[in-house]
Structure 1
Amino acid sequence: MKGTVLGFDTLTGEGVILNDQDVRYSFSKTNWREALAPMKGQRVDFEPWGTMANNVFLDVQVASPAADISFAEAIRSCFRKVTDFQGRSRRKEYWYFRIFVIFCSILSSLISHDLRHNGGVVIGLLGIASFFAWIYLFVVDLSVSVRRLHDSGRSGWWVLLYFTIIGIIPLFIMMCFDTDPRINKWGYPAK
Protein backbone atom coordinates (compact mmCIF):
# COMPACT_ATOMS: atom_id res chain seq x y z
CA MET A 1 0.00 0.00 0.00
CA LYS A 2 1.25 3.49 -0.75
CA GLY A 3 0.99 6.62 1.38
CA THR A 4 2.62 9.79 2.63
CA VAL A 5 4.40 10.38 5.94
CA LEU A 6 2.40 12.99 7.87
CA GLY A 7 4.97 13.28 10.62
CA PHE A 8 7.58 11.47 12.67
CA ASP A 9 8.72 12.25 16.22
CA THR A 10 12.38 11.34 16.68
CA LEU A 11 12.06 11.45 20.49
CA THR A 12 9.31 8.83 20.72
CA GLY A 13 10.24 7.04 17.49
CA GLU A 14 6.64 7.07 16.26
CA GLY A 15 4.98 8.50 13.19
CA VAL A 16 1.82 8.60 11.10
CA ILE A 17 1.22 7.70 7.46
CA LEU A 18 -1.80 8.75 5.39
CA ASN A 19 -2.55 6.26 2.63
CA ASP A 20 -3.99 7.21 -0.75
CA GLN A 21 -7.54 6.44 0.48
CA ASP A 22 -7.15 8.97 3.37
CA VAL A 23 -6.75 6.32 6.09
CA ARG A 24 -4.16 6.97 8.81
CA TYR A 25 -1.69 4.32 9.95
CA SER A 26 0.72 4.57 12.86
CA PHE A 27 4.27 3.26 12.62
CA SER A 28 7.32 3.09 14.84
CA LYS A 29 11.02 3.24 14.08
CA THR A 30 11.14 -0.56 14.28
CA ASN A 31 8.79 -0.68 11.26
CA TRP A 32 10.93 1.81 9.27
CA ARG A 33 13.25 -0.04 6.87
CA GLU A 34 15.42 2.81 5.57
CA ALA A 35 18.76 4.21 6.76
CA LEU A 36 17.65 7.85 7.09
CA ALA A 37 14.93 8.90 9.51
CA PRO A 38 11.47 9.45 7.98
CA MET A 39 10.54 12.98 7.03
CA LYS A 40 7.19 14.66 6.58
CA GLY A 41 5.94 14.47 3.00
CA GLN A 42 7.91 11.36 1.96
CA ARG A 43 6.07 8.87 -0.24
CA VAL A 44 6.24 5.38 1.25
CA ASP A 45 5.21 1.83 0.52
CA PHE A 46 4.03 -0.27 3.50
CA GLU A 47 2.05 -3.29 4.62
CA PRO A 48 -1.08 -2.41 6.61
CA TRP A 49 -1.58 -4.43 9.78
CA GLY A 50 -4.73 -3.22 11.47
CA THR A 51 -4.15 0.47 12.22
CA MET A 52 -0.36 -0.01 12.09
CA ALA A 53 1.97 0.25 9.11
CA ASN A 54 4.52 -2.53 8.92
CA ASN A 55 7.66 -2.83 6.74
CA VAL A 56 7.67 0.83 5.72
CA PHE A 57 9.97 1.58 2.78
CA LEU A 58 10.47 4.68 0.67
CA ASP A 59 8.34 4.46 -2.45
CA VAL A 60 10.69 3.53 -5.25
CA GLN A 61 9.55 5.00 -8.52
CA VAL A 62 11.22 4.97 -11.87
CA ALA A 63 13.64 7.84 -11.61
CA SER A 64 13.11 10.44 -14.27
CA PRO A 65 16.01 12.61 -15.30
CA ALA A 66 16.32 15.72 -13.18
CA ALA A 67 14.78 18.81 -14.63
CA ASP A 68 17.42 21.00 -16.15
CA ILE A 69 18.06 24.08 -14.04
CA SER A 70 18.52 27.47 -15.66
CA PHE A 71 21.13 30.02 -14.66
CA ALA A 72 18.56 32.29 -12.99
CA GLU A 73 16.90 29.38 -11.14
CA ALA A 74 20.28 28.24 -9.81
CA ILE A 75 21.14 31.71 -8.49
CA ARG A 76 17.69 32.09 -6.88
CA SER A 77 18.05 28.67 -5.29
CA CYS A 78 21.43 29.59 -3.81
CA PHE A 79 20.07 32.82 -2.31
CA ARG A 80 16.97 31.03 -0.96
CA LYS A 81 19.14 28.41 0.77
CA VAL A 82 21.68 30.84 2.22
CA THR A 83 21.41 29.34 5.72
CA ASP A 84 21.11 25.70 4.60
CA PHE A 85 24.39 23.97 5.40
CA GLN A 86 22.78 20.52 5.67
CA GLY A 87 21.30 19.68 2.26
CA ARG A 88 22.72 18.87 -1.15
CA SER A 89 23.28 20.99 -4.28
CA ARG A 90 23.84 19.90 -7.85
CA ARG A 91 27.08 20.52 -9.68
CA LYS A 92 25.30 22.84 -12.13
CA GLU A 93 23.89 24.96 -9.30
CA TYR A 94 27.35 25.35 -7.76
CA TRP A 95 29.11 26.30 -11.00
CA TYR A 96 26.37 28.69 -12.08
CA PHE A 97 26.75 30.47 -8.76
CA ARG A 98 30.54 30.52 -9.22
CA ILE A 99 30.07 32.21 -12.62
CA PHE A 100 27.65 34.70 -11.01
CA VAL A 101 30.27 35.63 -8.36
CA ILE A 102 32.93 36.14 -11.03
CA PHE A 103 30.51 38.36 -12.99
CA CYS A 104 29.76 40.36 -9.82
CA SER A 105 33.50 40.78 -9.17
CA ILE A 106 34.11 42.13 -12.65
CA LEU A 107 31.11 44.46 -12.48
CA SER A 108 32.11 45.72 -9.03
CA SER A 109 35.65 46.34 -10.19
CA LEU A 110 34.49 48.33 -13.21
CA ILE A 111 32.08 50.45 -11.16
CA SER A 112 34.59 51.17 -8.40
CA HIS A 113 37.25 52.09 -10.98
CA ASP A 114 34.92 54.63 -12.59
CA LEU A 115 33.84 56.10 -9.25
CA ARG A 116 37.31 56.18 -7.71
CA HIS A 117 38.13 59.43 -9.51
CA ASN A 118 35.13 61.19 -7.95
CA GLY A 119 35.66 61.74 -4.23
CA GLY A 120 32.95 62.29 -1.70
CA VAL A 121 30.36 60.78 0.54
CA VAL A 122 28.78 58.71 -2.23
CA ILE A 123 32.01 56.75 -2.66
CA GLY A 124 32.17 56.02 1.06
CA LEU A 125 28.56 54.84 1.19
CA LEU A 126 29.01 52.67 -1.89
CA GLY A 127 32.13 51.19 -0.31
CA ILE A 128 30.23 50.26 2.85
CA ALA A 129 27.31 48.81 0.85
CA SER A 130 29.75 46.87 -1.30
CA PHE A 131 31.48 45.46 1.79
CA PHE A 132 28.21 44.11 3.21
CA ALA A 133 27.16 42.74 -0.19
CA TRP A 134 30.45 40.82 -0.43
CA ILE A 135 30.02 39.44 3.10
CA TYR A 136 26.55 38.20 2.13
CA LEU A 137 27.87 36.66 -1.12
CA PHE A 138 30.62 34.97 0.89
CA VAL A 139 28.07 33.30 3.20
CA VAL A 140 25.95 32.18 0.22
CA ASP A 141 29.11 30.83 -1.42
CA LEU A 142 30.03 28.87 1.72
CA SER A 143 26.57 27.34 1.98
CA VAL A 144 26.40 26.25 -1.66
CA SER A 145 29.95 24.87 -1.41
CA VAL A 146 29.09 22.81 1.67
CA ARG A 147 25.94 21.47 0.00
CA ARG A 148 27.93 20.64 -3.14
CA LEU A 149 30.44 18.66 -1.07
CA HIS A 150 27.56 16.84 0.62
CA ASP A 151 26.11 15.98 -2.79
CA SER A 152 29.34 14.28 -3.83
CA GLY A 153 29.41 12.31 -0.56
CA ARG A 154 32.00 14.41 1.31
CA SER A 155 31.90 16.29 4.57
CA GLY A 156 31.24 20.01 4.38
CA TRP A 157 34.29 20.61 6.56
CA TRP A 158 36.41 20.24 3.40
CA VAL A 159 35.27 23.80 2.60
CA LEU A 160 37.93 25.00 5.06
CA LEU A 161 40.43 24.35 2.27
CA TYR A 162 39.21 27.65 0.80
CA PHE A 163 41.21 29.41 3.50
CA THR A 164 44.52 27.90 2.38
CA ILE A 165 46.30 28.88 -0.79
CA ILE A 166 47.13 25.37 -2.00
CA GLY A 167 43.81 23.87 -0.81
CA ILE A 168 41.73 25.71 -3.39
CA ILE A 169 42.90 23.42 -6.19
CA PRO A 170 41.84 20.08 -4.59
CA LEU A 171 38.59 21.71 -3.44
CA PHE A 172 37.73 22.79 -6.98
CA ILE A 173 38.51 19.25 -8.15
CA MET A 174 36.09 17.89 -5.51
CA MET A 175 33.41 20.28 -6.78
CA CYS A 176 33.70 18.67 -10.24
CA PHE A 177 32.71 15.18 -9.06
CA ASP A 178 29.28 13.95 -10.03
CA THR A 179 26.34 13.55 -7.66
CA ASP A 180 26.48 10.52 -5.37
CA PRO A 181 23.37 8.63 -6.55
CA ARG A 182 22.75 7.07 -3.13
CA ILE A 183 20.87 8.58 -0.24
CA ASN A 184 23.47 9.79 2.24
CA LYS A 185 23.26 11.44 5.65
CA TRP A 186 22.58 14.82 4.02
CA GLY A 187 19.52 13.65 2.14
CA TYR A 188 18.42 12.51 -1.27
CA PRO A 189 20.52 13.02 -4.41
CA ALA A 190 20.24 16.55 -5.76
CA LYS A 191 19.52 15.24 -9.24
Structure 2
Amino acid sequence: MDFQTSIKTCFKKYAEFSGRASRSELWWFALFCLIGGIVTAIFDTMVLGYSSEGDGPINLIFTVITTLPTIAVACRRLHDINKTGWWQLILLTVIGIVLLIIWYATEGEKKKNKYGNPIKIKK
Protein backbone atom coordinates (compact mmCIF):
# COMPACT_ATOMS: atom_id res chain seq x y z
CA MET A 1 0.00 0.00 0.00
CA ASP A 2 1.36 3.41 -0.89
CA PHE A 3 1.07 6.77 0.89
CA GLN A 4 -2.06 8.05 -0.89
CA THR A 5 -3.91 4.74 -0.74
CA SER A 6 -3.23 4.49 2.97
CA ILE A 7 -4.65 7.95 3.66
CA LYS A 8 -7.73 7.27 1.51
CA THR A 9 -8.29 3.90 3.19
CA CYS A 10 -7.94 5.28 6.71
CA PHE A 11 -10.39 8.11 6.08
CA LYS A 12 -12.76 5.77 4.24
CA LYS A 13 -12.70 3.44 7.26
CA TYR A 14 -12.88 6.47 9.57
CA ALA A 15 -14.40 4.66 12.55
CA GLU A 16 -14.23 1.03 11.45
CA PHE A 17 -12.70 -1.03 14.22
CA SER A 18 -13.33 -4.44 12.69
CA GLY A 19 -11.13 -6.18 10.17
CA ARG A 20 -7.40 -6.05 9.65
CA ALA A 21 -4.86 -3.46 8.48
CA SER A 22 -1.45 -3.98 6.95
CA ARG A 23 1.75 -2.58 8.37
CA SER A 24 2.09 -0.16 5.48
CA GLU A 25 -1.44 1.17 6.03
CA LEU A 26 -0.65 2.05 9.65
CA TRP A 27 2.84 3.43 9.09
CA TRP A 28 1.97 5.56 6.05
CA PHE A 29 -0.98 7.04 7.92
CA ALA A 30 1.24 7.69 10.96
CA LEU A 31 3.69 9.52 8.66
CA PHE A 32 0.81 11.56 7.23
CA CYS A 33 -0.30 12.53 10.75
CA LEU A 34 3.26 13.48 11.74
CA ILE A 35 3.82 15.61 8.64
CA GLY A 36 0.35 17.16 8.92
CA GLY A 37 0.95 18.01 12.58
CA ILE A 38 4.27 19.68 11.79
CA VAL A 39 2.86 21.63 8.84
CA THR A 40 -0.20 22.85 10.76
CA ALA A 41 1.93 23.82 13.77
CA ILE A 42 4.25 25.84 11.52
CA PHE A 43 1.24 27.45 9.82
CA ASP A 44 -0.27 28.39 13.18
CA THR A 45 3.03 29.89 14.34
CA MET A 46 4.20 31.65 11.18
CA VAL A 47 0.92 32.80 9.64
CA LEU A 48 -1.51 33.10 12.52
CA GLY A 49 1.04 34.21 15.11
CA TYR A 50 0.27 31.65 17.81
CA SER A 51 2.94 30.65 20.29
CA SER A 52 4.99 27.60 19.36
CA GLU A 53 4.49 26.18 22.89
CA GLY A 54 0.73 25.79 22.51
CA ASP A 55 -1.59 24.33 19.91
CA GLY A 56 -3.03 26.73 17.40
CA PRO A 57 -6.50 26.35 15.90
CA ILE A 58 -5.45 24.72 12.61
CA ASN A 59 -3.28 22.16 14.40
CA LEU A 60 -6.08 21.44 16.86
CA ILE A 61 -8.58 20.90 14.03
CA PHE A 62 -6.14 18.57 12.24
CA THR A 63 -5.60 16.61 15.44
CA VAL A 64 -9.34 16.24 16.06
CA ILE A 65 -9.93 15.09 12.47
CA THR A 66 -7.16 12.46 12.54
CA THR A 67 -7.58 11.08 16.08
CA LEU A 68 -10.40 8.61 15.41
CA PRO A 69 -8.94 7.22 12.15
CA THR A 70 -5.59 6.77 13.92
CA ILE A 71 -7.18 4.78 16.74
CA ALA A 72 -9.20 2.74 14.22
CA VAL A 73 -6.22 1.82 12.00
CA ALA A 74 -4.14 0.92 15.07
CA CYS A 75 -6.97 -1.33 16.26
CA ARG A 76 -7.17 -3.04 12.86
CA ARG A 77 -3.38 -3.41 12.84
CA LEU A 78 -3.49 -5.21 16.19
CA HIS A 79 -6.22 -7.45 14.76
CA ASP A 80 -3.79 -8.44 12.00
CA ILE A 81 -1.45 -9.94 14.61
CA ASN A 82 -4.44 -11.57 16.38
CA LYS A 83 -4.63 -9.17 19.33
CA THR A 84 -7.63 -7.16 20.46
CA GLY A 85 -7.68 -3.43 19.79
CA TRP A 86 -8.03 -2.79 23.52
CA TRP A 87 -4.27 -3.41 23.80
CA GLN A 88 -3.86 0.22 22.67
CA LEU A 89 -4.61 1.23 26.24
CA ILE A 90 -1.11 0.13 27.29
CA LEU A 91 0.04 3.25 25.45
CA LEU A 92 -0.65 4.98 28.76
CA THR A 93 2.37 3.23 30.29
CA VAL A 94 6.02 3.82 29.39
CA ILE A 95 6.78 0.20 28.54
CA GLY A 96 3.54 -0.01 26.58
CA ILE A 97 4.80 2.43 23.97
CA VAL A 98 7.73 0.16 23.15
CA LEU A 99 5.54 -2.95 23.07
CA LEU A 100 3.00 -1.33 20.74
CA ILE A 101 5.71 -0.22 18.32
CA ILE A 102 7.03 -3.78 18.21
CA TRP A 103 3.52 -5.16 17.61
CA TYR A 104 2.79 -2.57 14.92
CA ALA A 105 5.99 -3.59 13.12
CA THR A 106 5.30 -7.33 13.44
CA GLU A 107 4.24 -9.15 10.29
CA GLY A 108 0.57 -10.11 10.34
CA GLU A 109 -0.75 -13.63 10.40
CA LYS A 110 -0.88 -15.28 7.00
CA LYS A 111 -3.96 -17.32 7.86
CA LYS A 112 -7.50 -16.41 8.79
CA ASN A 113 -7.97 -15.39 12.42
CA LYS A 114 -11.01 -14.33 14.44
CA TYR A 115 -10.75 -10.80 12.99
CA GLY A 116 -10.95 -11.79 9.34
CA ASN A 117 -9.08 -13.06 6.32
CA PRO A 118 -5.40 -12.26 5.78
CA ILE A 119 -4.50 -9.13 3.89
CA LYS A 120 -3.56 -9.73 0.28
CA ILE A 121 -0.56 -7.64 -0.67
CA LYS A 122 -0.28 -6.72 -4.35
CA LYS A 123 3.19 -7.16 -5.80
- TM class by smaller structure: 0.7 to 0.9
Contact 2:21/2:77 (8 A) holds in 1: yes
Match of 1:152 among 71, 81, 84: 81
What residue number does 1:176 align with?
Answer: 105
Alignment of 1:107 onto 2:39 = yes
**Is 1:188 matched up with 2:117?**
yes
Greater percentage in strand: 1
Distance 2:15 2:116 in 1: 16
CA RMSD of aligned residues (A): 1.7
Distance (Å, rounded) in 1 between the aligned partners of 2:96 and 2:26: 18
- Measured after TM superposition, the shift of residue 106 of structure 1 is 1.1
The answer for the alignment partner of 1:79 in structure 2 is 11
Structure 1 106/133 Cα, relative in aligned 2: closer, same or farther at 3 Å?
closer
Gaps of 5+ in 2: 51-55
* Correspondence for 1:133: 62
- More deviation in 158-167 or 69-78? 158-167
Give the fraction of aligned pairs with identical amino acids, expressed as a percent: 30
Deviation at 1:116, TM superposition (A): 4.6
How far apart are residue 81 of structure 1 and its match?
Answer: 0.5
Separation (CA, whole Å) in 2 of partners of 1:97 and 1:80: 12
- Please identify the structure whose Cα radius of gyration is greater: 1
| Superposition pairs of residues 32-47 of structure 1, within 5 angstroms | none
- Give 1:182 shift: 1.2
Gaps of 5+ in 1: 1-68, 119-125
The 8 Å contact of residues 37 and 62 in structure 2, kept in 1 or not, is answered as no
More helix by share: 2
**Match of residue 163, structure 1, among 92, 105, 108:** 92
Q: Which residue of 2 aligns with 1:25?
A: none
8 Å CA contact 2:37–2:63 kept in 1: the answer is: no
Paired residue secondary structure (2:111): coil
TM-score (normalizing by structure 2): 0.85
Q: Which amino acid aligns with 2:118?
A: P
Q: For 2:42 and 2:98, how far apart are their aligned partners in 1?
A: 27
- For 2:65 and 2:41, the matched residues in 1 are separated by 17
